[in-house]
């Protein structure tokens, strides 16, 4: 199906883009890689009057690493995250997650900012953002503001972004040395989206026990969430198979899992436990190994 007619606008900088969005608010939509927005327009699930193409703004394409923070511009594509040396060194969890997104064509066009702003419950990056304690830098008519990842995803395909704001960059704090991370996922066979996707981070203390544990889960609920019950169960304990299995059993505690044509609520609950266990096991192995993940 063809999309409804729309007007195409290409601002020269962030300020112009924000100004245009502020004037047209709900009638305008930002266009980044187009991998989610264009299909929605073709299905007539979205029919914006204006498309504001930010795809060539150089300010949104920067990657920077300093002593404390990795900063990634919102227009950085999944394929670049998957392959950039800097990201592989500074935050391999992000590279591992990006590599799990869709297929090569989607990863070559889709952007980190587009994926986060779209907030599909089955997307891969949100859980990883929660686990990394990422901060989102956002530009609006009154200047910049920061939204923490945990405050960003508010409902199904809904975020704390206002219609007149642009996600500019994602800031990821540096991890401690004895940290291991992993992202594992159960793919929906046709699209590759996550039926369940679990990001984990484990930092070991000097006594070999889990000092910090963070677990983020995609696909199970309408909104990605931190599995705090899992984290609390494992914190302070040795990361052996029994403790991990005991903690992972709490992956869907307090959550009413989604039910759709791909998986029932019960199945998602069960898979949340299975994939949380696999993710935690891999993160624990990596935390113990010399190479950081
Ligand atoms: C066949 C297929 C398979 C896929 N499989 C997966 C998968 O397995 N896992 C997964 O995570 N994703 C998957 N995706 C989605 C893909 O990751 C998209 O790249 C991503 O969801 C949207 O990024 P985009 O740059 O294309 O954004 P667009 O489609 O351009 O925009 C998406 C939405 O975000 C808004 N937006 C974009 N950038 C910004 C910004 N900087 N500031 C404010 N708002 C903004 C737009 O207005 C729009 O509402 C798949 C997509 C397809 C088509």
- Kindly state whether residues 126 and 189 are assigned to the same domain: no
Q: Is residue 40 part of a domain?
A: yes
Give the residue from 144, 173, 202 where a domain finishes: 173
User: Are residues 250 and 196 located together in one domain of the fold?
Assistant: yes
CA 43/CA 221 separation, integer angstroms: 24
What confidence score (pLDDT) does residue 280 get?
98
Tell whether 130 and 230 lie within a shared domain: no
Q: What's the Cα-to-Cα distance from 125 to each of 110, 143, 243, 248, 281, rounded to whole Å?
A: 12, 26, 27, 20, 20
Give the DSSP H or E segment for 187: strand 179-187
Write down which residue in 149, 173, 197 finishes a domain: 173
What span, in angstroms and rounded, lies between the C-alpha atoms of 57 and 75? 8
Within this chain, do residues 235 and 167 fall inside the same structural domain, yes or no? no
Residues 6+ apart with CB under 8 A from 128: 93, 94, 97, 183, 199, 216
Q: State whether 70 and 151 are in the same domain.
A: yes
Tell me the CATH number at 88: 3.30.465.10
**Ligand 1 atom nearest residue 109's Cα:** 26
Q: In terms of residue numbers, what domain contains 68?
A: 62-173
CA 209 to chain centre: 28
The reply to whether 293 falls in a domain is no
Phi, psi (5° rounding) for residue 272? Answer: -60, -40
Tens digit of pLDDT at every position of the chain (293 positions): 889 999 999 999 999 999 999 999 899 999 999 999 999 999 999 999 999 999 999 999 999 999 999 999 999 999 999 999 999 999 999 999 999 999 999 999 999 999 999 999 999 999 999 999 999 999 999 999 999 999 999 999 999 999 999 999 999 999 888 999 999 999 998 889 999 999 999 999 999 999 999 999 999 999 999 999 999 999 999 999 999 999 999 999 999 999 999 999 999 999 999 999 999 999 999 999 855 55
First to last CA, the chain: 43
Report if residue 1 sits inside a domain.
no
Looking at the fold, whether 160 and 192 belong to one and the same domain comes out as no
89 and 128, same domain (yes or no): yes
Residue 252 lies in a domain: yes
Task: Give the nearest ligand 1 atom to 168 CA.
Answer: 41
Degrees (nearest 5) of the Cα angle 119, 79, 291? Answer: 100
State whether 68 and 111 are in the same domain: yes
Whose Cα sits closest to atom 36 in ligand 1? 114
CATH of the domain at 235: 3.30.390.50
* Whether residue 69 is found in the same domain as residue 45: no
Q: How far apart are CA 263 and CA 266, in angstroms?
A: 8
Per-residue model confidence (pLDDT) at position 290: 56
SS (HEC) of 121-154: CCCCHHHHHHHCCCEEEEEECCEEEEEEHHHHEE
Question: Is 75 inside a domain boundary?
Answer: yes
Q: Indicate the residue among 173, 204, 228 that finishes a domain.
A: 173
Q: Is residue 201 included in any domain, yes or no?
A: yes
Give yes or no: residues 215 and 162 share one domain: no
pLDDT for the residue 177: 83
Identify which of 102, 129, 157 to mutate to test ligand 1's pocket (most ligand atoms within 8 A of the CB). 102
The model's pTM is 0.96
13, two tokens? 């900088």
Taking the CA atoms of residue 221, residue 115, residue 5 and residue 164 in that order, the dihedral angle to the nearest 10 degrees is 90
Q: How many domains does the chain have?
A: 3
- Give the orientation angle of helix 265-288 with respect to helix 241-248, to 10 degrees: 150
Q: Give the residue carrying structure tokens 């898979």.
A: 271
Yes or no: say if 183 and 127 are a contact pair by the CB < 8 Å rule: yes
273 alpha carbon to ligand 1 midpoint, in Å?
A: 27
Does residue 263 sit in the same domain as residue 191?
Answer: yes
Check whether residue 204 and residue 269 sit in a common domain: yes
Q: What is the CATH number of the domain that holds 22?
A: 3.30.43.10
Is 57 inside any structural domain?
no
* Ligand 1, CB cutoff 6 Å, lining residues: 29-37, 39, 74, 101-102, 106, 109-111, 113-115, 117-118, 120, 123-125, 161, 166-167, 191-193
pLDDT for position 248: 98
To test the ligand 1 pocket, which listed residue (118, 170, 197) has its Cβ within 8 A of the most ligand atoms? Answer: 118
Which of ligand 1's atoms lies nearest the C-alpha of 138? 42
37 belongs to a structural domain? yes
């Amino acid at each position: 199906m063809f999309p409804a007619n729309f007007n195409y606008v290409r601002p020269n900088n962030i300020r112009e883009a924000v100004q245009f969005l502020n004037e047209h608010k709900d009638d305008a939509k930002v266009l980044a890689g187009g991998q989610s927005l264009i299909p929605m327009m073709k299905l007539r699930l979205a029919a914006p009057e204006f498309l504001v193409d930010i795809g060539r703004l150089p300010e949104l394409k920067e990657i920077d690493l300093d002593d404390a923070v990795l900063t990634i511009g919102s227009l950085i594509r999944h394929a670049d995250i998957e392959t950039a040396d800097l990201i592989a060194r500074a935050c391999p969890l992000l590279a591992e997650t990006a590599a799990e997104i869709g297929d090569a064509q989607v990863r070559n066009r889709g952007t980190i900012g587009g994926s986060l702003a779209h907030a599909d419950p089955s997307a891969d990056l949100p859980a990883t953002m929660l686990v990394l304690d990422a901060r989102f830098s956002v530009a609006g008519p009154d200047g910049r503001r920061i939204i923490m990842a945990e405050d960003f995803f508010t409902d199904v395909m809904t975020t704390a972004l206002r219609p007149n704001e642009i996600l500019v960059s994602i800031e990821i704090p540096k991890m401690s040395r004895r940290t291991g991370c992993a992202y594992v996922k159960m793919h929906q066979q046709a699209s590759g989206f996550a039926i369940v996707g679990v990001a984990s981070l484990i930092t070991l203390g000097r006594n070999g026990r889990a000092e910090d544990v963070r677990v983020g889960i995609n696909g199970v609920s309408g909104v990605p969430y931190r599995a705090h019950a899992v984290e609390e169960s494992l914190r302070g304990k040795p990361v052996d198979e029994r403790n991990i299995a005991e903690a992972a059993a709490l992956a869907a505690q307090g959550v009413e899992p989604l039910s759709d044509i791909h998986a029932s609520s019960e199945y998602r609950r069960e898979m949340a436990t299975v994939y949380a266990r696999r993710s935690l096991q891999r993160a624990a192995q990596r935390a113990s190994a010399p190479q950081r993940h």
